[in-house]
Amino acid sequence: MDSSEMNCDRLLETAKQLGCEILNNEPLSRHTTFKLGGNCIAMIEVGSADALKELIRCAKDDKIRYYVLGKGSNVLFDDRGFDGVVLHIGAAMSQVSFVDDTTVSVQAGCSLMKLCRCALDNSLTGLEFAYGIPGTVGGAVFMNAGAYGGEIKDIIKSCTVVTADGEVETLTAQQLEMGYRSSSIQKTGAVVCEAVFELEKGEKAEIEAKMEELMGRRKDKQPLDLPNAGSTFKRPEGFFAGKLIQDCGLRGFKVGGAQVSQKHCGFVVNADNASSADVVSLIEQVQKIVLKETGQFLECEVRIVPFDEKSEVK
């Protein structure tokens, strides 16, 4: 990491001047739901959209490799870590404010759980599907998160981003081009700062009952007791990834400490002090076996982040 560390001085000084907390040589395993990954050169706690803009501009000017991280619920870092700086969007950017009675503006670092509870407190319906998704608003918009028949694209009105060039832009729902676990942001390298959602007035008791019902279904069907990154594979059109994996006899299949969940075959879990390499190897083997047995290729939904730009992501 020596060459990158030498180049980071101005970026870290900029972060300091902006009032951002800096964590040097931070273990990424502390910031991902897989509980895996080595250290990054530094992690910067981003406090505002303006700070994010300045940090991205500085990183680009100095050719510093960076990665933007929220709650780390859909990410797998390399065992060697990340040879660059992580820009963490979390509690310092988690404000929720109301535009009017049914329109809510939310900063990217706000957790979906917090947002859902806020909607409940104000008798607003439309977000029940997201209750229990362990990510932030920024990640949810980036991936067009969804569950139980609902998706972010159903409720989003607009989104403010910082572009890869360090410019602030506001995108309409149409410009976000949201599809199944996809958005235009994934192609442009922009970073979500804030999103505006259009909800509807509802009955608080009914909203709460629906949220609790969906949370109960999650607890019954998903391996919430073991570190994981949610659904590991995207759903092939006309099929369910978990069913394909199960039909291939892979329930409980292990590589090192990584395992296909005994509870839900669509999840890979960190069952026994797994390494990131264990998880990657398991994913590859599941893909090969399912393709051979069923003819269906399972595209990985988890974002696998290589140690450096030269590392090959298999």
65 is catalytic: no
| Cα 288 versus chain centre, distance | 25
CA distance 260 to 240: 15
Which helix (H) or strand (E) segment is 182 a member of? Answer: none
Candidates 249, 252, 302, 253; CA nearest to 280 is: 302
Q: Please tell me which residue in 181, 183, 235, 275 is annotated as part of the active site.
A: 181
Instruction: State how far the Cα of 246 lies from the Cα of 266, in Å rounded to an integer.
Output: 8
Which residue among 183, 231, 261, 275 is the active-site one? 231
Helix 112-121 and helix 204-221: axis angle, to 10°? Answer: 150
SS3 115: helix
In angstroms, what CA-CA distances link 281 with 148, 247, 251, 278? Answer: 30, 20, 16, 5
Annotated catalytic residue within 5, 182, 301, 303: 301
Active site residue 10: no
CB-neighbour burial class of residue 104 (10 A; exposed 0-12, middle 13-18, buried 19+) = buried
For residue 41, the surrounding DSSP H or E stretch is: strand 40-45
Reply yes or no on whether 217 is catalytic. Answer: no
- Active site members: 181, 231, 301
